[in-house]
Amino acid sequence: MNQHDHQIHEGESLRSAAQQRLVAKGEQWTDMRAAIFDALAGFDKPASAYDIAESVSRAQGRRVAANSVYRILDLFVASNLARRVESANAYVANAHPDCLHDCIFLICDTCGQAVHIDDDGITGGVRQAASAAGFSAQRPVIEVRGTCGDCDSD
Ligand SMILES: [Zn+2]
Ligand SMILES: [Zn+2]
Ligand SMILES: [Zn+2]
């Protein structure tokens, strides 16, 4: 990885890093956005907009529509607060809202957990290969399906 202060956040520290990042982008950290971020960060595996709508509805005791969750998730992805795990059709909170990487996800077919790694050497190589083929890469999606260490040892 290139030289920078790469910080992986969790819990309170993740929440405040996400909040700071969103505000720095000129967006408001509304109660609804905060509730959706908390719900997303609370899942231990990639969550769909429906999973998140359910969780927020339960916490707030009122119905939250999946559509409004989608809109906020889109904003989160665009602002580097969340990542979409394409092959799981779901979202995870981005543990490093302060810095941009082409995150690589390892997704367990048994338990559904997604392990996240950053390796700019690999993703940079993919971007270079795309560019050598005359293709302008916006977002390499590198996801590996398989079995996680926990499930493998069962
Ligand atoms: Zn970084
Ligand atoms: Zn990452
Ligand atoms: Zn597993």
pLDDT digits (tens, 9 = 90+) for 114-148: 999 999 999 999 999 999 999 999 999 999 999 99
Of the listed ligands, the closest to the CA of 85 is 2
3-state helix, strand, coil in the chain (%, to 5): 45, 15, 40
pLDDT score recorded for residue 22: 98
The alpha carbon of 1 and the centre of ligand 2 are apart by a number of angstroms equal to: 11
Cα distance between residue 149 and residue 48, in whole Å: 24
pLDDT at residue 60 tops 70? yes
Q: Judging by DSSP bridges, how do beta strands 104-108 and 142-146 pair with one another?
A: parallel
Residue 28: CB partners within 8 Å, gap ≥ 6? 22
Tokens of 75: 């904003």
pLDDT score recorded for residue 5: 85
Of the listed ligands, the closest to the CA of 147 is 3
CB-based burial label for 87 (10 Å; 0-12, 13-18, 19+)? middle
The alpha carbon of 139 and the centre of ligand 2 are apart by a number of angstroms equal to: 13
User: Residue 2: which pLDDT band, with cuts at 50, 70 and 90?
Assistant: low
User: Residue 153: which pLDDT band, with cuts at 50, 70 and 90?
Assistant: confident
pLDDT at residue 1 tops 70? no
Q: What's the maximum distance between 2 C-alpha atoms anywhere in the chain?
A: 53
